[in-house]
């Protein structure tokens, strides 16, 4: 069984490929550059820092969404 929990060090490109259901959550948080090639190699943590977001808070929101299905 595949774990749905994600971590802050995971790359944005991998996250949106494996969990496209979180794209809206990332966009709502202010990450509107998900299609940019540079963002694909950025970790969730680094992307949060660039956008002035709390990585732990966004990670909790994403993981809660994934648990709910």
pLDDT at residue number 44: 95
Mind spelling out the 3-state secondary structure of the chain?
Answer: CCCCCCCCCCEHHHHHHHCHHHHHHHHHHCCCCCCCHHHHCCEHHHHHHHCCCCHHHHHHHHHHHHHHC
Residue 12 clears pLDDT 90, i.e. is over it: yes
Of residues 1 and 38, the one with the higher pLDDT is 38
Residue 69: band (very low, low, confident or very high) from pLDDT cuts 50, 70, 90: confident
Say what the pTM is: 0.84
The pLDDT tens digits of the residues spanning 14-50 come to 999 999 999 999 999 999 888 888 888 899 999 999 9
45 contact partners, CB below 8 Å, separation of at least 6: 8, 9, 55
């Amino acid at each position: 069984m595949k774990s749905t929990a994600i971590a802050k060090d995971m790359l944005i490109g991998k996250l949106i490929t494996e969990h496209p259901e979180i794209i809206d959550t990332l966009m709502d948080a202010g990450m509107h550059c998900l299609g940019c090639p540079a963002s694909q190699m950025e970790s969730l943590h680094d992307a949060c820092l660039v956008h002035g977001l709390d990585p732990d808070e966004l990670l909790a929101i994403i993981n809660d969404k994934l648990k709910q299905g």
